[in-house]
Amino acid sequence: MKILITAGPTREPLDPVRYLTNRSSGKMGYALAEAAHDRGHEVTLISGPVSLPPPEGMIVVKVETARQMYEAVRSHLGGQDTAIFSAAVADYRPVAKAEQKIKKTGETLTLTLEKTEDILGSARSVFGFTGYLVGFAAETERLLEHAHDKLARKGCDLVIANDVSQAGIGFDSAENEVTLCLPDASPFPLPRQTKAALARELIAFITQQAALKKTL
Ligand code: PMT
């Protein structure tokens, strides 16, 4: 199977020395890419800026911003059987990047932000992707409600709900604990475990489900 995976954060520049970002380390996405590769899949990893070594045996495309990740997904999604969007993409970016370093002049500073491209939301509607589509939902409240909303709105086959309010899991941790949300089944919780072990379990499940979808 050909699998595209997004991983890591994006950085949205404010000026030549500053950017808006989040706490994603890329560990979850890289673990998924390694697990998919170990299972014999052909992997394309689209990665935001992380300090992890690039995994071997797959195509790795490095990007910085949400717009660059959108363009990289657009050009690599054709021909993929499965796409897994685990990246923590910035939802907003500064409307303009200042040419020079912003100086400390007033007591407050107001930034004007605009929405970034919704990459997962574009997979079906803009890129015409018909394969098995997996999104994540990183939430701090009403986890399953938000996850099911994303499942329906973005045309996903599976949303992996990640409660990022809990210490020790989610962003920048060695372990994770998630719940699988499918269109016609009860939410299925997976126990807390290392991201490598969880990735193997997720890839086994996704491999089976994607093959099933192909036969229908
Ligand atoms: O990288 P780690 O430190 O290992 O942390 C792992 C993780 C917490 C980042 C990962 O498990 C996770 O939950 N990833 C999704 C993070 C996220 O931003 O979720 P969201 O609920 O804001 O976004 C929903 C989905 O839309 C995600 O699949 C996301 O990749 C995608 N998205 C979001 C915004 C956007 N502009 N484009 C997108 O494609």
pLDDT digits 0-9 by tens, 12-21: 999 999 999 9
pLDDT bucket at 192, cuts 50 / 70 / 90: very high
In a domain, 107, yes or no: no
Q: Is residue 101 part of a domain?
A: no
The total number of structural domains in the chain stands at 1
- Residue 146 alpha carbon, nearest atom of ligand 1: 21
- Going by pLDDT thresholds of 50, 70 and 90, the confidence category of residue 216 is confident
Q: Please report the atom of ligand 1 found closest to the CA of residue 116.
A: 36
User: How confident is the model at residue 101, as a pLDDT?
Assistant: 97
Q: What is the pLDDT of residue 74?
A: 98
Query: Which pLDDT score is estimated for 156?
Result: 98
**pTM > 0.95:** yes
Helices (H), 16-131: 27-38, 66-76, 119-125
Question: pLDDT averaged over the chain?
Answer: 97
Q: Would the CB of 179 count as within 6 Å of ligand 1?
A: no
Residue 50, domain extent: 2-95+112-215
Confidence at residue 56, expressed as pLDDT on a 0 to 100 scale: 97
User: What would the mean pLDDT of 56-69 be, rounded to a whole number?
Assistant: 98
DSSP lists the bridge partners of residue 189 as: 179
Q: What per-residue confidence (pLDDT) applies to 93?
A: 98
Query: Pick the catalytic residue: 2, 20, 21, 22?
Result: 22
Other C-beta atoms closer than 10 Å to the C-beta of 34 total 22
> What value does the mean pLDDT take over residues 162-185?
97
- Kindly tell me if the per-residue pLDDT of 45 is higher than 90: yes
Q: Rounded mean pLDDT of 21-46? A: 98
Q: Where are the alpha helices (DSSP H) in the chain?
A: 27-38, 66-76, 119-125, 143-153, 195-215
Ligand 1 pocket residue status of 9, Cβ below 6 Å: no
CATH number, position 53: 3.40.50.10300
pLDDT, residue 113, reads 98
* The two structure tokens encoding residue 56: 């071997």
Q: For 52-62, b where at least 16 C-beta lie within 10 A, e where not — what string? A: eeebeebebbe
ipTM: 0.99
Identify whether 105 is part of a domain. Answer: no
How many Cβ atoms from other residues are within 10 Å of residue 111's Cβ? 11
The answer to whether the CB of 86 is under 6 A from ligand 1 is: yes
Average pLDDT of the residues in 203-209: 98
Judge if the beta carbon of residue 137 lies within 6 A of ligand 1: yes
pLDDT category at 10 given cuts 50, 70, 90 is very high
Span 124-131, average pLDDT: 98
Burial class (CB in 10 A: 0-12, 13-18, 19+), 185: exposed
> Per the domain annotation, does 44 fall within a domain?
yes
CB 180 within 8 A of CB 150: no
- Write the residue with the smallest CA distance to atom 13 of ligand 1: 138
Task: Calculate mean pLDDT across residues 75-99.
Answer: 98
Q: Is 176 a catalytic residue?
A: no
Q: Note whether 90 and 22 are within 8 A (CB).
A: yes
